[in-house]
Structure formats: C-alpha cells, structure tokens
C-alpha cells in the first residue's frame, strides 16, 4: 500500500508529466486548429464544380486508348537509373566533403 502511494506521488510530481503535458497541449491544439481550418474551408468555399472541371483530362486531349494497354518499360528503366544515381550522389557528397580527412585505406 505504501509503495503504491509513493508511486502515485512520483507520477504526480514527475518531470515526464510536466514535459509531456506541453506536448499533449500542443497536439490537442494542432488537431483542433486542423479541424477548424478544414471545416471552414468546406463550408465557406463554393461547392458547384463546372462540367469542364469534372471532364477527363490527360495532357490536353481526351484519352483515346484503353487503360490496359502495354506500358513501355523504358520509362521504368529511366526511373530506376535516376534513383540509382540520386542515391549515389547522396553518398558521394559527404565522402567528397571529408576526403581530406581520409587515410589511404578509405580509397
């Protein structure tokens, strides 16, 4: 019984409670502000889209093929090569920045 009372006093006066209460207040305020902004934009904006806005649009002209046509693989290969070189640059830039501090084994 005495240990439970000590634990309750520890939780009531803990540093964790004071630090996380600020975070909880910030989280509640941000959720409240998000709900207010989204509901205000929903109720204040005009909700009557024109037929032009609802029409299908694809690169400036109406689609003329079925959506299940064969997709050219070149686009995927170019995307994969882009990601490969993008990741390579991500690792190469810090290496180049610290090259003066590297020894012979780093090469």
105 lies in a domain? no
107 lies in a domain? no
- Residues 6 or more apart whose CB falls under 8 angstroms from that of 31 comprise none
At 75-96, the pLDDT tens digits run 888 889 999 988 888 888 887 7
* 3-state DSSP assignment of residue 50: coil
- Residues 6 or more apart whose CB falls under 8 angstroms from that of 17 comprise 11
Domain extent at residue 13: 2-46+71-100
Please give the pLDDT value at position 29. 96
Instruction: Quote the pTM value.
Output: 0.39
* Comparison of pLDDT for 98 and 16, the residue scoring more: 98
8 lies in a domain? yes
Least confident among 67-71, 83-87, 89-93, 98-102: 67-71
55 lies in a domain? no
94 lies in a domain? yes
Distance separating alpha carbons of residues 50 and 72, to the nearest angstrom: 35
51 lies in a domain? no
> Within its chain, how far is the Cα of 6 from the centroid?
43
- What band does 34 get if pLDDT is binned at 50, 70 and 90? very high
Domain count, the chain: 1
* 3-state DSSP assignment of residue 35: helix
* Nearest alpha-carbon partner for 43 in 54, 51, 35: 35
30 lies in a domain? yes
53 lies in a domain? no
């Amino acid at each position: 019984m005495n240990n439970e009372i000590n634990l309750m006093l520890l939780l009531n006066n803990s540093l964790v409670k004071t630090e996380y209460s600020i975070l909880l207040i910030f989280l509640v305020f941000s959720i409240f502000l998000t709900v207010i902004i989204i509901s205000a934009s929903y109720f204040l904006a005009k909700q009557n889209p024109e037929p032009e806005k609802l029409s299908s649009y694809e690169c400036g002209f109406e689609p003329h093929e079925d959506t299940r046509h064969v997709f050219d693989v070149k686009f995927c290969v170019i995307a994969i090569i882009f990601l490969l070189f993008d990741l390579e640059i991500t690792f190469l830039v810090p290496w180049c920045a610290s090259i003066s501090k590297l020894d012979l084994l780093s090469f």
